[in-house]
Amino acid sequence: MPNAKIAGIGFYVPEKVVTNFDLMKVMDTSDEWIRERSGIIERRYAKKHEETPTTMAAAATKVAAERAGIEVEEIDFIIFATLSPDYYFPGCGVLLQRELGITKTEIGALDIRNQCSGFIYALSVADQFIKAGVYKNILVVGSEMHSMGLDFSTRGRAITALFGDGAGAVIVQPTEDADKGILTTHLHSDGTHAEQLAMISPGSHGGKHLPDVDFGFPSADELGEIFVYDKLIENKSAYPQMDGQLVFKKAVTKFPEVIMEALTKTGLKKEDIDMLIPHQANLRIAQFVQKTLGLPDEKVFNNIMKYGNTTAASIPIALCEAWEGGKVKDGDLVCLAAFGSGFTWGSVLIRW
């Protein structure tokens, strides 16, 4: 049975840089306040009506495919992770297929909606397909365009300051080298506190998580107008919502647990890790996890300072930057780990 290896990797971030000082122009916040709580200095925003999660994913894919030594036409399956799709439906997988010009082969496209842990989940699926001998060139993408769905008022500052846009992609291929590639993957979830990190609407919850409203019997058009323009905005359900303290508490517990689970499964120790790339949700979380595991600075890669939280895209972007900077080398033991909305979390251990 072959192992799955990352044969090529690429990323794309938009040109527009938005600093903390830029946010200060539209909301009551400060550079010091944002840095102290998250470590973020700046983030990237895509060009409105020109760039989308799909176009950014395509740009990252082309780099990854070239580095893998293949043409995009050789991709035989697509796994697309995002929480900010171009459309409510269809998913971005088929849109990316079209954007890459590979519709003639009619390959399968799968969409993953696991938010911050989306790339980990997607990579795990690719790993199983490769080991089963089903596909040979799987494209795994994480791409996000948060800037189109954030609350840029003072009310939304605690969340809006955290997020940015970008995309990362990898080509996953089989390898007969038993000592290389993805060694193990571990996935978990607990939906108990699902609404504590969520965007409730649009959805089919029938107003379950909104205050009771007596609409009477208006026309369909009137109902749509009342629901969308009044209730969703008024109750903030159309914007991301987060209980930051709860998320922090859960994350700093589950991150180390799932990392140690991967090491235990493979008979390795935390000292064997050459590079840990955590999901870039908050620099304070990453630093807490680093301290818990006792890893030195040179064994943990963070770039949230430059890009903010790009959810499903954060790990492939960080992995690509670490590799490009020579911090991930042949034979290195690389650990990827994420925790986020759902709650869902997971880890992937790779011998590069």
Query: Residue ranges per domain, the chain?
Result: 3-175, 181-195+242-351, 200-238
Instruction: From the candidates 92, 116, 320, 335, give the one annotated as an active-site residue.
Output: 116
Q: Where are the alpha helices (DSSP H) in the chain?
A: 20-23, 31-38, 53-68, 92-100, 118-131, 157-160, 220-225, 233-234, 244-266, 283-293, 304-307, 314-324
Q: Domain 181-195+242-351's class?
A: alpha beta
d(CA 266, CA 68) in angstroms, rounded, equals 27
Euclidean distance between CA atoms 267 and 264, whole angstroms: 5
Determine the pLDDT at residue 242: 80
Q: State residue 258's pLDDT score.
A: 98
Between the alpha carbon of residue 312 and those of residues 141, 176, 231, the distances in Å are: 8, 29, 29
pLDDT value, residue 116:
95
Residue 64 neighbours by CB under 8 Å, 6+ apart: 8, 9, 10, 139, 169, 170, 171
CA distance 285 to 270: 18
Is residue 20 annotated as a catalytic residue, yes or no?
no
Distance (Å, whole) CA 319 – CA 286? 15
Q: Which residues contact 224 (CB under 8 A, 6 or more apart)?
A: none
Of the residues 279, 282, 303, 335, only one is catalytic, namely 279
Whether 279 is a known active-site residue: answer yes
- 282 belongs to the catalytic site: no
* 181-195+242-351 shares the fold of 3-175: yes
Active-site residue, selected from the candidate residues 20, 282, 309, 320: 309
Task: Enumerate residue ranges in the chain where pLDDT < 50.
Answer: 209-220, 222-229
Architecture of the domain whose range is 3-175 = 3-Layer(aba) Sandwich (3.40)
- Dihedral angle, C-alpha 47, 48, 53, 56, nearest 10 °: -20
Question: What is the reported pTM?
Answer: 0.91
Q: Strand pairing of 166-175 and 333-340?
A: unpaired
* pLDDT of the residue at 207: 52
Distance CA 37, CA 34 (A): 5
Tokens 């590799």 identify what position? 323
Q: What would the two tokens of residue 29 be?
A: 């916040």
Q: Which two tokens stand for residue 237?
A: 């359900």
CA–CA distance, 304 with 302 (Å, rounded to integer): 6
